[in-house]
Amino acid sequence: MIKILRYTEYLYLAVAVISIYKIAELWSIDRERTYIFIFFAVVSVGMFVFRRRYRKRFEKRQRDNQS
C-alpha cells in the first residue's frame, strides 16, 4: 500500500508541471483560462505536500508498532 501512496504523490507533481506548462503557453493568449490552471497547479502542489507528510507519518507509525 505504501508504494501506491508514493505513486499518487508524483502524479500530483505531474499534474502541477502540466498545469504550469499550460499557464506559460496560454498566458498571453487567453488569460481567463489560465486562472483555472493556476488553481490546479497550486492545489496539486498542496496535495503533494499533504500526501507526502501523511505517508511519512503512516510509515513512522508502522515502524513504531512493529518494534
Structural domains counted in the chain: 1
Whether the predicted pLDDT of 5 surpasses 80: no
pLDDT reported for residue 1: 63
Distance CA 41, CA 7 (A): 18
Assess if residue 67 is contained within a domain.
Answer: no
- What range defines the domain where residue 38 resides? 2-62
Encode pLDDT of 25-46 as tens digits: 999 998 999 999 999 999 999 9
Q: Stretch 37-61: mean pLDDT, rounded?
A: 94
Which pTM value belongs to this model?
0.82
**Residue 7 neighbours by CB distance under 10 Å:** 8
Assess if residue 40 is contained within a domain.
Answer: yes
Per-residue cell: 22: 499550460
Assess if residue 49 is contained within a domain.
Answer: yes
Assess if residue 26 is contained within a domain.
Answer: yes
